[in-house]
């Protein structure tokens, strides 16, 4: 089980789609809602998630230790 999971601060997301492009197993852009969602927190490896975090233009993806 993953020790940490990515979370998206939806209010800060500009729906650019970069996270989904980089790590589609984990992130999915919800165009009708206007932000991206974590569809499968443990679906990708950490390097992929980290790359998405590093490339998010508003830096609204964070690691969380909390399993929701
Ligand atoms: S990369 Fe960041 S701003 Fe872009 S869709 Fe993903 S969470 Fe939103």
Read off the pLDDT of residues 4-59 as tens digits, 9 standing for 90 and up: 999 999 999 999 999 999 999 999 999 999 999 999 999 889 999 999 999 999 99
Which pTM was predicted? 0.92
Ligand 1 residue neighbourhood (C-beta within 6 Å): 8, 13-19, 27, 29, 36, 56-58, 60-61
Number of domains in the chain: 1
Structural domain boundaries, residue 25: 5-64
**Residue 28 to residue 39: CA distance in whole angstroms:** 6
Residue 3 CA to ligand 1 center (angstroms) comes to 22
**Residue 67 to residue 13: CA distance in whole angstroms:** 21
Ligand 1, atom nearest to 27 Cα = 6
**Among 61, 63, 64, which is best to mutate for testing ligand 1, by the most ligand atoms less than 8 A from CB?**
61
Question: Residue 5 CB: number of other CB atoms within 10 A?
Answer: 19
CATH of the domain at 27: 3.30.70.20
Tokens 């590093």 appear where?
Answer: 54
């Amino acid at each position: 089980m993953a020790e940490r999971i990515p979370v998206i601060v939806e209010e800060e997301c500009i729906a650019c789609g970069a996270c989904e492009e980089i790590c589609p197993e984990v992130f999915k852009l919800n165009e009708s809602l206007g932000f991206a969602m974590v569809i499968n927190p443990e679906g990708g490896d950490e390097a992929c998630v980290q790359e998405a975090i590093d490339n998010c233009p508003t830096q609204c993806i964070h690691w969380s230790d909390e399993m929701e």
